[in-house]
Structure formats: structure tokens, C-alpha cells
């Protein structure tokens, strides 16, 4: 057990790192953020900051020696340098390596017995044509690496042709994935301990616009709720196969034929932000508990319904009105520039 007053290293200094650091501080830990930026959002609430590129080996060695355990808050990190953190890294580099390449990820998910939408790996325009012929349209091309929040994605079908989509994703190695006519989207969020203990939260139903999460609502509507048991079983199989320690999120499409995995995130997730006020133990506290090997906290929904809305780009300018709203829990991430599509904060409302 890694006890309070130890130092937790967090690789990545975005809003997820910030909320992890706040939860860690509540339990008496100090946090050390490792991020290439000079003033990442998480550094405002952490004891220490290393400002260095993610592949700076000397900086990583110093960081390893300065922390008692280390974790990461996003998956677009070079995996090899992180091997230097050895056993201190939780979850391990395997969760990261699988989740950061969409083709590897889909193969892995299928090997775990879960289902994904029909897909092909593509590396050329010819491959894209072949995939379109085999799978039919609509199809979405997603770059294998470095895509998030709808970036690195382009549709083929009603809105565009193969050439345009292939050019739009920068002619990068990609997956071609059948467009799913889903009835809802939801996620399974679980935390797993090194000895196999695990807990689930209630699943949020998720609404996206332009590939970005806008709203998560708990509990799900009936149509998604009917698929949660199968989805949990698959998510746990994935967590076990990864040997995952900490929070793991699996995003699903509720399709007419059952749950299809969209993607996995080996970390706390935007669709779990409601747990800060809505659940007895938040995803952030639970992640800290799991990586420090403290006992699991209770995950239940405290009461009623939780609705979490992201504040994207200029929407953050609504903060005066939101902080004045009775019962609205406002979270601002301390980012200086409200660029379009940038997650600036979120607000959670708990309704009876």
C-alpha cells in the first residue's frame, strides 16, 4: 500500500491530470506532473512539475526517482521511454500500447471476445477502395494513431468520397470502420486492482457532436441499459487481459444487435466526470486508490440523475451564469485560450 504523504507522478498535465491531483490531495498525497508544457492545467494544483518532452529519458529517470508510483492521463504518449518507469507505472505500458493504435486495439478487443463494428486496416487509397467494396458505406476512416475528439476522422458515404476522405486524414495508416446506426452511445467505467478486485460505476449515456462528447447522463435510458450487463462482461475481460490497474473506460455503441465497442481508454474519462458529485467515490479518487493499492471505494449513484455537460471553446464564457445557478457544480480547467473544440470545463447537475 502506498500511503498518504507519498508522491504520485502523473504523466500528462491536462484536465484529467488536474482532477486526479485534486483527488490525490484530498487523500493526503502530493502530485508531480510530467508534461511538455510550461503551465499545464494540472500544475496549478500539484506540488511539483517537470516540464520536459515525453521522450526525455534523463527527465523521465529523475521523475521515476522522485515519485512512489506513476500514472498517465492520456494515451498519446511514446511507449518505449515509459519502460524506464518499470513497476512504478500503473496502469502498465501494455494498456497504453494497445489503446493508442486503433488497429491493435480492435484486434485485441476481438480476441477478448467483445464485438466491434466491421473494419479493415488500410494503408493506401487502394486499400480504402477495397474496404469500401467489402464493407459497403457509410464508412469512417480513422487514423491508427493520435486521433481524439473526432480528429483524424473522415466519412465516406453520403458526405464524401474515398479520395477526399483519404486526403482529409493525411493519407496516414488508418482503420476503415462501418458506420454504426446506433440507438445510443454509452460507456462502461471500471476500476481494477492488481489482485483482480474490480468495481463498476453506473454507465453514462453519452451524446457527441462533431466527434466531441457534449453530455453524459446517468442512468442510461432503457435501450442502452439493456446492453450494460453484456458490455460490462466484455469490459472486464479486456481489463483482465491487459492486466490493467486503475480506471479503464470502454466506449460502446448500443446497436440493434447488441453492444459494439467503439474504443477503450486506459484511464479516467470525460464520461465519468459526473462521478465527482454523483457517485460516492469519484473515478479520480478510485484511480488513486487502485494505483496506490488502497481499498476500493463505493461507486453507487448517490441519488436521482446526474447530467454532465462539457463547456467547449467559447461556451466557457457562460461561467458567471453557471456559477450563479443553484446546485450546478461548475468545473473550470484553468486553460488560458478558449479555442474552438477545446474542453475548457464542465458542469454537473444532480436531479432528483
Interface with ligand AMP (CB under 6 A), residue total: 13
Q: Which three cell numbers stand for residue 249?
A: 473506460
Distance of alpha carbon 178 from alpha carbon 255, whole angstroms: 12
Angstrom CA distances, 135 to 3, 174, 270, stand at 52, 15, 31
Interface positions, 198-217, toward ligand AMP (CB under 6 A): 208, 211
Only segment of 13-21, 68-76, 176-184, 226-234 that touches ligand AMP (CB under 6 A)? 176-184
Q: Which of 263, 283, 333, 344 binds ligand AMP (CB under 6 A)?
A: 263
Which one, 202 or 251, has the nearer CB to ligand AMP? Answer: 251
Length of the chain: 352
Q: Can residue 177 be called a binding residue for ligand AMP (CB under 6 A)?
A: yes
* Rg of the chain, C-alpha, whole Å: 20
Interface positions, 76-135, toward ligand AMP (CB under 6 A): 117
The overall longest dimension of the chain from CA atoms, in Å, is 59
Per-residue binding letters, 143-172, with ligand AMP (x by CB under 6 A): -------x----------------------
Which one, 117 or 288, has the nearer CB to ligand AMP? Answer: 117
**Cβ pair 156, 195 in contact under 8 A:** no
Q: Can residue 262 be called a binding residue for ligand AMP (CB under 6 A)?
A: yes
Angstrom CA distances, 171 to 6, 61, 71, 152, 166, stand at 46, 36, 32, 10, 5
Q: Can residue 285 be called a binding residue for ligand AMP (CB under 6 A)?
A: no
Interface positions, 218-247, toward ligand AMP (CB under 6 A): none
Count CB-CB contacts under 10 A for residue 221. 13
Q: Of 106, 62, 43, 119, nearest to 263 (Cα)?
A: 106
Only segment of 74-82, 175-183, 215-223, 289-297 that touches ligand AMP (CB under 6 A)? 175-183
Interface residues toward ligand AMP, by CB under 6 A: 117, 140, 142, 150, 177, 179-180, 185, 208, 211, 251, 262-263
Amino acid at each position: 500500500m502506498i500511503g498518504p504523504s507519498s508522491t504520485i507522478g502523473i504523466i500528462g498535465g491536462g484536465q484529467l491530470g488536474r482532477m486526479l491531483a485534486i483527488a490525490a490531495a484530498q487523500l493526503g498525497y502530493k502530485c508531480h506532473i510530467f508534461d511538455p508544457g510550461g503551465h499545464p492545467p494540472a500544475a496549478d494544483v500539484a506540488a511539483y512539475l517537470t516540464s520536459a518532452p515525453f521522450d526525455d529519458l534523463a527527465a523521465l529517470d529523475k521523475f521515476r526517482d522522485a515519485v512512489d508510483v506513476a500514472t498517465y492521463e492520456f494515451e498519446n504518449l511514446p511507449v518505449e521511454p515509459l519502460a524506464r518507469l518499470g513497476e512504478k507505472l500503473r496502469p502498465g505500458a501494455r494498456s497504453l500500447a494497445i489503446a493508442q493504435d486503433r488497429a491493435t486495439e480492435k484486434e485485441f478487443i476481438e480476441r477478448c471476445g467483445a464485438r466491434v463494428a466491421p473494419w479493415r486496416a488500410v494503408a493506401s487509397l487502394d486499400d480504402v477502395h477495397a474496404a469500401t467494396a467489402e464493407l459497403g458505406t457509410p464508412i469512417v476512416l480513422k487514423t491508427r494513431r493520435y486521433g481524439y475528439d473526432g480528429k483524424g476522422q473522415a466519412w465516406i458515404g453520403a458526405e464524401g468520397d474515398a479520395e477526399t476522405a483519404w486526403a482529409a486524414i493525411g493519407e496516414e495508416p488508418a482503420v476503415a470502420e462501418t458506420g454504426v446506426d446506433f440507438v445510443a452511445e454509452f460507456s462502461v467505467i471500471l476500476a481494477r486492482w492488481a489482485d483482480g478486485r474490480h468495481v463498476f460505476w453506473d454507465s453514462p449515456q453519452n451524446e457527441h457532436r462533431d466527434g466531441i462528447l457534449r453530455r453524459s447522463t446517468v442512468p442510461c435510458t432503457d435501450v442502452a441499459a439493456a446492453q450494460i450487463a453484456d458490455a460490462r462482461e466484455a469490459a472486464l475481460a479486456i481489463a483482465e487481459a491487459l492486466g490493467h490497474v486503475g480506471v479503464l473506460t470502454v466506449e460502446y455503441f448500443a446497436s440493434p444487435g447488441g453492444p459494439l465497442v467503439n474504443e477503450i481508454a486506459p484511464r479516467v474519462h470525460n464520461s465519468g466526470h459526473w462521478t465527482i458529485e454523483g457517485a460516492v467515490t469519484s473515478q479520480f479518487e478510485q484511480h488513486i486508490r487502485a494505483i496506490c493499492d488502497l481499498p476500493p471505494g463505493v461507486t453507487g449513484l448517490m441519488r436521482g440523475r446526474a447530467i454532465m455537460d462539457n463547456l467547449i471553446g467559447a461556451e466557457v464564457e457562460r461561467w458567471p451564469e453557471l456559477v450563479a445557478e443553484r446546485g450546478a457544480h461548475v468545473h473550470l480547467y484553468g486553460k488560458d485560450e478558449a479555442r474552438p473544440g477545446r474542453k475548457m470545463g464542465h458542469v454537473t447537475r444532480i436531479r432528483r
